[in-house]
Structure 1
Amino acid sequence: MSRMRAPVELLEKNRPRQARAKRTYENILMAAAELLVEVGVERISTNLIAENAGITVPALYRYFPNKYAVLYALGAVLMDRQNVIFEQWHERHYPAGGVAALMDNVEELLRETYQATRDQVGGHEITQALRAVQPLQELRMESHEIVARSFAGLIAEVLGIEADEEIVIQARITVDTFYGVVELALGDNDLPTEVVLHCGAGMISAYWMDLISRLDSSA
């Protein structure tokens, strides 16, 4: 009989409030991000993180129960930034031109998401860890689900229809494609970034303009 793997604790133990504790917390996250770049997710450990942060391992354990919780916190920061970019992009273009304006500016959203991920220390490595490490995959899935349901609801509202399962699935596929384009632009140095982002935006925009046209005509 196979044994079920015990769930990994992913939440930090204490959210710091005092300035000194906040600095320690941020130093831990920065140390982990730097180590992701230097040694990769497989070799990173709480001992290495503590050493790189200039603290003891017991001090690290006051905030995080294990290395996965540190990586989870890093991923949450990145996912939150990416979700804010999506919200700001929507607020910037939708009131002025509706869905058509959003589709005309998908490349802008891709570029801003790419830039924010690249600017975060270990950003690309964090996205890889969220995809590859089983205990972290739920965070990535939840973040993508939030964006997908928001987009599906928007499309349904514009067309005056219900955001049914099919539209949600189409939105989810689009979100995963979107982040796949960003990861490709970040990870393949042989491909020109601007071309990758431009082609990805064209594919996403063309798909949804065609889909909206068909949904609108059948509504």
Structure 2
Amino acid sequence: MSRELPKPLLEKNKPQQARAIETYERILRAAAELLEERGVDSISTNNIAERAAITVPALYRYFPNKYAVLYTLGARLMDKQNQVLVAWSNRYFAPDDANALIDNLRELLQETLEVTLNGPAGLALLRALRALPVMQDVLLESHYAMSQWATENWAQPLKLDTDPDNLRRMRLILQMGTSAIELALEDPDMPIDFALNEATDMLQMYWRKILL
């Protein structure tokens, strides 16, 4: 099955020149601001262009529609979260000791939450990732890629079978972590520390089932 992005949602023309890059980034900043202020259903290419102080045709040189802009924002957030996972693995992965990863899962969740909060429209993007089919594609593609990465990098040293079920288990782990972070950020009745601590306990039990 092809995992290429749907062509209508790809950026039409990724910029190379400094002025074009600056315009491109202004579009993304404007979209993030509007997403945070108004929510995904209340923004359009017209008001993104207005906020970015460019014309609508200028926006269309880079993005064919608002969903392509949102897709790019979502992909950037997923990339940042994935970088957290890789850096965390580099710190704690020990070929002879699966517990080194398991014991430090709380740190992974905390750092993922922080990179989400520190990015533009982090919580609004998490909501959009759940609400829009195109944004769900971002999440699924990211989790699929990182599940493959984790399974391939941890499989042999940890004697983790690379069968399809273990890839699915890794995807579940990533989805459970994302859901816990979203709940911690979105629900005022769910203290962040409580959510992350409980999610850590659940994920540790599941990881021990897989890795030990």
**TM-score over 0.5 (shorter chain):** yes
**Is 1:112 aligned to 2:102, yes or no?**
no
Residue of structure 1 equivalent to 2:31: 32
**Aligned residue runs from structure 1 range 51-130, under 5 A:** 51-95=50-94, 98-130=97-129
Q: Quick check: 153-162 or 75-84, which moved more?
A: 153-162
Equivalences for residues 104-183 of structure 1 within 5 A:
104-160=103-159, 162-183=161-182
Q: 1:27-58: per-residue Cα shift (whole Å, max 9, x none)? A: 10010011111111011100010011111111
Change (3 A) 1:98 1:155: same
Deviations 1:83-133 (A, max 9, x none): 111001000111487421111111101001000101112111112212211
Q: How far apart, in 2, do the equivalents of 1:109 and 1:181 lie?
A: 12
Using the TM superposition, give the Cα deviation of residue 206 of structure 1 relative to its aligned residue in structure 2, in angstroms: 1.7
Q: Is the 8 A contact 1:148 1:172 kept in 2?
A: yes
Instruction: Tell me if structure 1 keeps the 8 A contact 2:96–2:157.
Output: no
Instruction: Give the TM-score normalised by structure 2.
Output: 0.91
Task: Kindly indicate whether residue 18 of structure 2 is the aligned counterpart of residue 19 of structure 1.
Answer: yes
Which region of structure 1 is more displaced relative to structure 2, 77-86 or 162-171?
162-171
Aligned CA RMSD, in angstroms, stands at 1.7
Q: Secondary structure at the match of 2:98?
A: helix
Q: Which runs of 5+ in 1 are unaligned?
A: 1-6, 214-219
Aligned amino acid, residue 129 of structure 1: A
Partner of 2:3: none
**2:176, 2:168 → 1: CA distance?**
12
> Which TM-score applies when normalising by structure 1?
0.88
Give runs of ≥4 in structure 1 deviating > 6 Å: none
Q: Is the 8 A contact 2:95 2:157 kept in 1?
A: no
Whether the 8 Å CA contact 2:34–2:48 is kept in 1: the answer is: yes
Measure, in 2, the Cα distance between the counterparts of 1:138 and 1:94.
29
In structure 2, what residue type is equivalent to 1:93?
Y
CA distance in structure 1 between the aligned counterparts of 2:193 and 2:79, rounded to whole angstroms: 24
Aligned partners of 1:161 and 1:117: how far apart in 2?
A: 30
| Residues 144-176 of structure 1: CA deviation (Å, up to 9, x unaligned) | 111222223345313435311221121111111
Q: Which residue identity is paired with 1:29? A: L
> In terms of mean alpha carbon deviation, does 159-168 or 50-59 score higher?
159-168
Equivalent pairs: percent with the same residue? Answer: 46
Distance 1:136 1:26 in 2: 19
Matched to 1:27, the amino acid is: R
Give the Cα separation in 2 of the matches to 1:85 and 1:93: 12
Tell me how far apart the structure 2 counterparts of residues 205 and 33 of structure 1 sit (CA, whole Å).
Answer: 34
- Name the count of aligned residue pairs: 207
Secondary structure (helix, strand or coil) at the match of 2:40 reads coil
In the alignment, the residues of structure 2 paired with residue 129 and residue 191 of structure 1 have an alpha-carbon distance, to the nearest angstrom, of: 20
